[in-house]
Structure 1
């Protein structure tokens, strides 16, 4: 089974929350340094996140970008292609999202949709699939040759852990939106997705842009491992920040705020949560 057998949530063997929190903050501090290096050096970094539904991609992306500048690091999660986009070269709408100098782009699913969900669910023809498999390594070599730093991560989750996470989403109103009929349909095609992933690795795991597998049955460990690995593969250095100093506040010139009753304040909902005095 993909991902292997592990203990269930909360059972010893998972990364303790306190250890996770401390190391995550350290790594996020390094991600800020990486961001500043990318911006200062005019580098272009692309990180591809792939894996099964509920494998932990979204949570990891959230932790990667939590303290980054959205003007530098942005997430790309493209919707279903439009009728016009379906007539374009398959890679065209992804190429439009690639970074310019000083930018980081994180693909929450990418052009590899064609090798996975489109292949398994029959959303592309066999000819389109074979054309993708032929062109994908060529395109990625072109990106790397042009100077783009390309990193590809596959989040590997066991069938038992995936089922557990999907069931929790069904019962959680804050996460139910993550489930779709497509997700539930893919759940029934575990082996088909496994075969598609294996062939994808065989044909697109190239020296210029290799696949890196993240064991994600333990979400905390997966986040730590992926971020640490990403940092280890980029030769970033610390950039000296500009020296800034808060200037003194100018002396008052007679300004007076308008009366509160002339403005619309939101109700103080927070006050209703406190015990009566």
Structure 2
């Protein structure tokens, strides 16, 4: 029931880090993966790794901050056939005190992290609803639960991702489409490099995690395969924390 053979998946932000690991996890379980990033050639490494496994993959590029580019991405993905799984992983972050946070940067983060996820879900969701099956997996965050520090736009976007996950699940569940989210804990990626470089803060984070370590991108593979497969057909509107136990502490 965890097999993804014969399925096509679109993963945004698949050039590196969590997105690349999830794309590889889907491919390892039989899916054909459309790997999307913000620039041409950005997913070449991911595609090469999937093909080295004997899997099928193609690369597409789209600026998630541009609605027209997002629409074009959906069209290109569907031109190759149906899309059974959508993973809305692409995103950005801007760190600044709330008193000084530029409105333009706030709007950019919301556009990339939230609006693109909604638009792709809407465009591909229409096809999923029409055929009576589909999986949409949004990438939330620990900041879907808390406020964070110096990242007001990112926090707002990730709270909204949790909400829209539930809203879409409510509407599309009766059509056989499951919409869920994964909330990664503290993972070693370039997105958290500033925290990793702060020795005191990094140790503080590690001390709170019951697993006793930061997450590695490969730790997300199991969750994304589960939510993309028929094993999760009766799971809808959930935000699954993959955090080493951070929230439990």
Instruction: Choose 1 or 2 for highest CA Rg.
Output: 1
Greater helix percent: which structure? 2
* TM-score bin (small chain): 0.3 to 0.5
TM-score if structure 2 supplies the norm length? 0.39
TM-score if structure 1 supplies the norm length? 0.36
